[in-house]
Amino acid sequence: MEGKIMKNPDPNKKIPSNPALEEEIRRRAEGGEISCAGAMQIAAQFGESPKELGQRLDAMEIRLTRCQLGLYGYTPEKKIVQPAAEVSPELEAQIRKAMQGNYLPCIAAWDIARSRRMPKMAVSSACEAMEIKIKPCQLGAF
């Protein structure tokens, strides 16, 4: 399966040891890979920021798969999100308002999905239709 490592890891950042957290990562990882959802659950469970967990996964050489926005980690296409057939004016306005520069941060896409009670991938599909890139990833994959 195609996975992701952090796009811009900080090589000078020392990741403090956390044996219980690292054991949970190893327990949940399959074949050196862990899903975005699994990684986010572990981050919440252990009170670690998603970015720090992404750095820890890199240090442990565990790749991320199955992005909840459909942007990476699927076989064989890698990216599975497709442009939405149409985007409501309300959703478009909410996306544009949340943009930072030319991009919509991953966390903003999640917040929009939560506030509108819609699947996360529906927000990324709208972004695809609007030709808006989603970044940065909360886990550091993009």
Average pLDDT over residues 9-19: 75
Whether 55 is covered by a domain: the verdict is no
What whole-number distance in Å separates Cα of residue 12 and Cα of residue 63? 20
Whether 126 is covered by a domain: the verdict is yes
Whether 78 is covered by a domain: the verdict is no
| 48-69 confidence digits (pLDDT tens) | 999 999 999 999 999 999 999 9
Whether 107 is covered by a domain: the verdict is yes
Whether 127 is covered by a domain: the verdict is yes
Look up the pTM and report it: 0.87
**Range of 117's domain?**
89-134
CA 96, distance to chain mean position in Å, is: 19
Could you tell me the pLDDT band of residue 15, with boundaries at 50, 70 and 90?
A: confident
* Number of domains forming the structure of the chain: 1
* pLDDT above 60 for 6: no
Whether 28 is covered by a domain: the verdict is no
Radius of gyration for the alpha carbons in the chain, expressed in angstroms and rounded:
16
Torsion of CA 67, 69, 75, 77, to 10 degrees: -140
Whether 103 is covered by a domain: the verdict is yes
